[in-house]
Amino acid sequence: MLLQTSMKNAVQCLPYEEVSLSFINNTTYVVHAPWLAMQTTIETSDETSRTLAAFAKQDFSQIDPKILSNFLSQLNLPFNYILPSYSSTSTDNHRTLPQLPISVQKLSKKQLREFLNLESSLADDSEWNWDADAILEFSKIYNAYDPAALLSVVRRFHLLDCTDKDQTGNLYDYCKTLSIDNNAIQKMLATIVYQNYYVTAECQNSLAPALSLSKSAFSKLNDFMDDEKGHDLLLLRALSALQTSPEHLYLSNSTKNIMSILKQLGSTSFLGFCLAIDFFEKPSFDEVDPLTELLRHFHHDIAASCLQKHKTINDDGGHECISLDLLSHMNLVDKDYALFAIRLSEVLTDEMTSVTADLLNLFKQQQTKQAESL
């Protein structure tokens, strides 16, 4: 029995500004965004083909928004906004804010960092860069704010920041260019792996406070936490294969900060917590983890296999949708509550995009010192 419903015609998704489409042939398209280009094969009607062709040409007058929305929603990749809506089944009310030194509307980034008691890092001195008013305006419905719509905008800002600021690619490329002895390379690789070890080792501690705020999403969060258990052991095995133990390695303040923020979110803002989980759980999309690739490049195959196993477990968990799933329990929220979550997300993104930049600086300084000492 098949149910054809009128629901499928509702427009619920709009493409991000950066998203475009190109053809390979009549049924194969490439969807482009700065953070991802994905090839897609689609068996569909002429009507859908016409809309996709119009979207590829950016001929907006010929696009059927309902068909485009349906296409984007089925891709289920970070290519689109989710329009605000109200669901009578999302009944959990979340509105309590922590005692802040100043109203959330006037809170500067510096004040929020102080409130969170963050360590000094590369992300220290900056102003708010995310247009919070635009996020609020987009997600507004019935004089309140839809958490899922808000997530879809925040996710785009996070991905744009990762694309612009994150130094992971440069860090890995830099390591590959070094002509230094194996021990020095091994220590650098171990330092990179250690950041991930710290994140996984702190994971349960950092997630647990959110259980008290999770209301009817409790069992989903609990299941998610169960799925994340034991990942630190894989990373520890990788460190062991690199013949290092955690206590001798450098830990970036940004790595410390991201786990500190996650832990504090769990006791201050369940919306902020869900947005943070979305950042942590964004899939790499690649078959092989980039760090696995780097470890293989230097023939550390055992450590590489540990990293790849971690990636496979995370991919199999399908956790890229966990935040929307948790937020499906949340009722519309008020302005201050939404704004506080947006602000926290920006600070977290600053720190997340600083981890590899910090390591790159460290490695370059080490190399300079070594060269000077010769």
Partner 1 sequence: MKKRTIIAGTILAASMANAAGDVDVAGYLKEQTGPAQKEVKELCLQVEPMFLSSMMPRHVSSTIIGLKVADNAESYDLVIDTDRVTKQCPEGYVKISTTAPLRSVRSAPISL
* Range 265-304, binding partner 1 (CB under 8 A): 280-287, 290-291
List 85, 91, 96, 205, residue binding partner 1 (CB under 8 A):
85
Cα 22–chain centre separation: 26
Hey, which residues between 24 and 63 contact partner 1 (CB under 8 A)?
30, 34-45, 48
CB atoms closer than 10 angstroms to residue 285: 13
* Binding residue (CB under 8 A) for partner 1 from 157, 270, 273, 363: 157
Query: Are 225 and 208 within 8 A, CB to CB?
Result: yes
Polymer length in residues for the chain:
374
Compare residues 285 and 368 and give the one whose CB is closer to partner 1.
285
User: Phi and psi (nearest 5°) for 93?
Assistant: -95, 125
Joined tokens for residue 146: 């839809």
Q: Could you say whether residue 23 binds partner 1 (CB under 8 A)?
A: no
Please report how close the Cβ of residue 15 comes to partner 1 at its closest, in angstroms. Answer: 9
Residue 239 CA, distance from chain mean position: 25
Hey, which residues does 14 pair with through a beta bridge? 81
Sign for the CA dihedral angle at 35, 41, 45, 50 comes to positive
The yes or no reply on residue 253 touching partner 1 (CB under 8 A) is no
Nearer Cβ to partner 1 (115/197):
197
**Quick one: 73 or 361, whose CB is closer to partner 1?**
73
Which of 96-104, 114-122, 162-170, 243-251 is the region at the interface with partner 1 (rule: CB under 8 A)? 162-170
List the beta strands (DSSP E) in 142-247: 144-145
List of residues 6+ apart from 289 with CB closer than 8 A: 307, 308, 310, 311
Sign of the Cα pseudo-torsion (302, 364, 259, 136, in order): negative
Reduced to 3 states, what is the DSSP secondary structure of residue 146? coil
Any contact of residue 105 with partner 1 (CB under 8 A)?
no
CB 60 to partner 1: min, Å: 9
Indicate the residue among 138 and 337 with the shorter CB distance to partner 1. 138
Which 106-145 positions form the footprint of partner 1 (CB under 8 A)? 126-127, 129-131, 134-135, 137-138, 141
Nearer to partner 1, 284 or 368 (CB): 284
What is the C-alpha separation between 325 and 330, in angstroms, rounded? 10
Quick one: 348 exposed, middle or buried, by C-beta within 10 A (0-12, 13-18, 19+)? buried
Among 51, 121, 196, 331, binds partner 1 (CB under 8 A): 196
Distance CA(369)–CA(374), nearest Å, equals 9
Helices 355-373, 182-207: inter-axial angle, 10-degree rounding:
150
Where in 214-243 is the site for partner 1 (CB under 8 A)?
228, 231
Q: Indicate whether 92 belongs to the interface with partner 1 (CB under 8 A).
A: no
Nearest distance, CB of residue 14 and partner 1, angstroms? 6
Beta 144-145 vs 28-33: how paired, if at all? unpaired
CB of 370 to partner 1, least distance (A): 24
Near partner 1 by CB under 8 A: residue from 20, 53, 107, 172: 172
Residue written as tokens 């296409």? 71
From the list 7, 58, 106, 374, which residue makes contact with partner 1 (rule: CB under 8 A)?
7
Please, which residue, 104 or 161, has the CB nearer to partner 1?
161
DSSP 87: -
> Shortest gap between Cβ of 373 and partner 1 (angstroms)?
29
Please list every residue from 302 through 361 that binds partner 1, using CB under 8 A.
Answer: 310-311, 314-315, 318, 320-321, 324-325, 327-328, 352-353, 355-356
- Segment near partner 1 (CB under 8 A), from 100-108, 191-199, 331-339, 365-373? 191-199
The answer for residues whose C-beta is within 8 angstroms of residue 265's C-beta and 6 or more apart is 210, 272, 273, 276, 344, 348
Instruction: Tell me the closest approach of the beta carbon of residue 80 to partner 1, in angstroms.
Output: 9
Report the nearest approach of partner 1 to the CB of residue 97 (Å). Answer: 23
Which tokens go with 92?
């959990």
Q: Is residue 175 involved in binding partner 1 (CB under 8 A)?
A: no
Q: Report how far residue 153's alpha carbon sits from residue 136's, in angstroms, rounded to the nearest whole number.
A: 9
Q: Per CB under 8 A, does 362 bind partner 1?
A: no
Report the residue number, 269 or 345, with the smaller CB distance to partner 1.
345
